[in-house]
Structure 1
């Protein structure tokens, strides 16, 4: 009679690791194919002047030198900084305000949470085309509403105006992105114990003092992570800006990401130069994350 052998601890561990690897491997291969390979390939072509087919002239750091000598890069970076600062500020003001409201015991709270989350769920292209129609000078809903109310006497070219294009793009991006901050802050608020508020109230703290000394410290880690993610995401954003204005009029909304797209696909295929710009943007995003984390966590014990 054949007796079955009891697996040794080493064999059990090997089987367990093999099972885990079996399920993790597809995800790992997908990440390698869709994230790591394009990332490394982008860095690789930044050292060439190439058409990506049969022209591969190695130029070393020449593309980076050209980028730092190009006034257009600095102009687009300045537009990007203004765009990012106002969009992220809008996200946090609106997101935290709505999170505080939705964290209270109000009627239809679940309905309002679902409703306010909708802008984040729709694709960026859909949102951009919707607002592009709303801002349309001749057939747009905004001009029609303002004209009927007597607030303007003639249609305005919202996205074609040098003074209004960037504020309009910022407004749309705030409307699109605030739900992410709202839901993160709401989750953070619900993790704060109510006993802390009760103790603060007993000690005589008012609402502002409760917010300052209980809510903000409780949200600190959530604020740090959300701020870094939101800043980096919108610093390199391109989709909605491209659909709304394509960087125009002139270069008013020409962010660095839009400039990268133009250099690659509109200006005679400067793929190496655009890749160098993309590497610079990546390094700036890393620097933003490191600096924000150090500044926001410097008082942590």
Structure 2
């Protein structure tokens, strides 16, 4: 309990009141303001510290060492952490220590959003790097997992221990590993996809993946042939037509090719009648203000589609 002496009278302030003051501040407190509150009193420090460590982004040797050492000394700091983003370096460049990262993850018992990203400046996976053992033996239950660092076969076992994952994002094209994902709660999936291989889409409704209830799907189409899109949409309609509500396609076409866009919209309306949101991200774009009138694309009257978003990749 906090105490403030005013006019010779000691006023005691419960820590709960300190929390109410911080959480109901008229404006969002900045990181610097939260750090300053940690210096006011123990009560304010406990509440401000909770906000400071609720979402953490780590990159760079010095930041990693400082954060990991601090948490290992005071594990209570990350007990309430909800999101952790790790931009992992290659051990060939410098070593952080797998044990230190694993300890931090072990203390973060309430973590629900974990993102393990490869340093874009050192993106090669062909050299020695942080081991997958950092993912083993933790108590947290994730709802979101983003991976651009480990190979898919390396994390299948970890994913099997996290059946609560609802959103999974990967940049890798590994159909076989994706088909083996034991994610019974999966709602949102973002992955690379080769239109020449429809076995993954078929597996979504097959015996190994029939439990999936994917509602939002983003596919990075690796082919440059727009003609293959019809087959993809037909397969999606066959296997996910009753589940899918949102579809995002990353394509290699030009947004200003209106006939292609209209054809995609019509096929989505026919094969995926329950999709309400369609996003097309095109690698080539020479028209930044293009608007397609869905009402003029000859879509079936029973379609649910009401939002179409066109833009280049960010």
TM-score bucket (shorter structure): under 0.3
Structure having the higher helix fraction is 1
TM-score (normalizing by structure 1)? 0.21
TM-score (normalizing by structure 2)? 0.20
Larger radius of gyration: 1
